[in-house]
Amino acid sequence: MPLCREIIPLLSSNASLKWRIGLLLTTAVMGAALVISGITSYQTAVRSYRAIGKAEVVSMFMGLRHEFRHPRNHPDVLLEDIFSDLQKRGLSYLAVMDARGAPIFEKGRAISRFASEKWTCARGHRPVDISFVDNGDRLHGVARIRGHRGPAPRCRFLVMEITPVEGKEIVNRAFTGLIIEVGATLFLLGAALVFWRLSRKSEQVASQLERERRATAEQLERDRQLKMLGQMSAVLGHELKNPLTALKGHAQLLTEQLGSDHSGYKWAEIVVAETEYLEQLTNQVLDFAKTGSLKLSTVYLDDLAHAAIAFSKSDPVQIELDDDSAHWVLDRHRMAQVLINLLRNARQSSGSEPISLSIKASDKLTIVVQDRGSGIPKGDEDKIFEPFFTNRATGSGLGLALSKRIVEEHGGRISVENPAQGGAAFIIELPQGTMETDP
């Protein structure tokens, strides 16, 4: 079951990532399809524009050539009328040129000229020549015409430039559609990216909430177990205390009666020693199960440190105290229990090497007990504060759990780290709210 609880969120996360990637790719493909469709429509519109334009120019030339063969008015008047009529269809230049390319009549302004080889009246030469100018937006056309005024036909050239209005509107609409489709693609991609970021953020928030929920549930479960353990420990401690006291008393009485030269004397001493150990263990269990409010008083930190060292029999201890007169508001008895536990553990880990006790009182009270042992195994930094957890062959595993409870009841925290110089350092931090200005 625990393995399932770990695997399911992982699979869910991978599925969510694949879903987001799929959505992003789908959006990109749709956007690419829109852009390709817009480009294709625009190119089709341009080709249509050119085809329609050429057809329109050829149609105009055919009509104009007919007018020149059968003129109803003077050519200048005729061209004036034609130019006025065709302006609304996009005509911007109209001219009649002689065989050398010199204008006989012209109206409007042309932006290009044909090369000299275009001006030929040779038989078989193409009568109409159309090309695109001005980046393909305008058509420039030349058509050969023959006038019939005078004794002999004369070779003339009709020149026009035109921007087909209807075709240009088609191209403009296609270009507008292309811009809209590109904009829609960019909008879709932007929306997909925004959704990607929002979904990731939502997933992270959900994951954080899930971790917090699990941590809360685990803490509640630990609290429930500790509560049950405390109740069981209290009952067990009370039930064992009286029999142990009686056993210890009778064993001590037996050693007094036997005398040191009796063969059973050493066995009686072993019974006394083991009974004292059981009595100490029972007291630890009762202390761990003990509940109730703290009995706070102003405590001089120097006195507290020396009393804990003496009671724990942990000399030699190097004491570092900034101010001998420093004081703090504590439950003296219970905080002394914490220091005694830490000093005893440090002495057991250090052998005969000196251990250190540092106390600094400023905006918060910081107490550090450092030993000269091998340090705390990696991964056990939190476990060592759990009840009945111990790496030693002897010991109840309640000392550090009891110390943590007492420190937390004071509103502080206790932690452990392995300093670079070796050993283990237990750090107690108590907040400023427990400090008084005057003792």
Q: Dihedral of CA 54/60/65/68: which sign?
A: negative
Residue 109 and residue 83 in contact, taking contact as beta carbons nearer than 8 Å:
no
> Rounded to an integer, what distance in angstroms lies between the CA atom of residue 379 and that of residue 403?
20
How would you write the pLDDT of the chain (439 residues) with one tens digit per residue? 444 444 444 444 566 677 778 777 888 888 888 888 888 887 887 787 777 777 777 777 777 777 666 666 666 677 777 777 777 777 888 888 877 777 787 888 777 665 444 556 655 455 567 777 666 677 777 777 765 444 445 677 888 888 777 777 777 888 888 888 888 888 888 887 887 787 777 778 878 888 888 888 887 877 676 667 666 666 666 666 678 777 777 777 777 777 777 777 778 778 877 777 777 767 666 666 665 677 888 888 899 999 999 988 888 888 888 777 788 888 888 888 889 889 988 898 888 888 999 999 888 899 999 998 888 888 777 777 777 666 665 555 677 888 888 888 888 999 988 888 888 899 999 987 544 434 3
Q: Dihedral of CA 280/282/285/289: which sign?
A: negative
Rg (CA), the chain: 52
Count of other CB atoms within 10 angstroms of residue 314: 24
Q: Which residue type is seen at 232?
A: M
Instruction: Please state whether beta strands 317-321 and 355-361 pair in parallel, antiparallel, or not at all (unpaired).
Output: parallel
Q: Would you give the distance in Å from CA 53 to the centre of its chain?
A: 57
Domains, in order of start, for the chain: 91-163 (no CATH), 292-434 (3.30.565.10)
- pLDDT of 434: 46
3-state SS, residue 128: strand
Residue 353, token pair as written in the block: 């090497």
- pLDDT of 7: 40
Q: Dihedral of CA 176/179/183/188: which sign?
A: positive
- pLDDT of 121: 62
Q: Which residue type is seen at 117?
A: E
Residue 276: C-alpha distances to residues 273, 290, 350 (Å): 5, 21, 24
- pLDDT of 194: 81
Q: Which residue shows structure tokens 């429930």?
A: 224
Cis omega before residue 316 (within 30°)? yes
Residue 127 and residue 58 in contact, taking contact as beta carbons nearer than 8 Å:
no
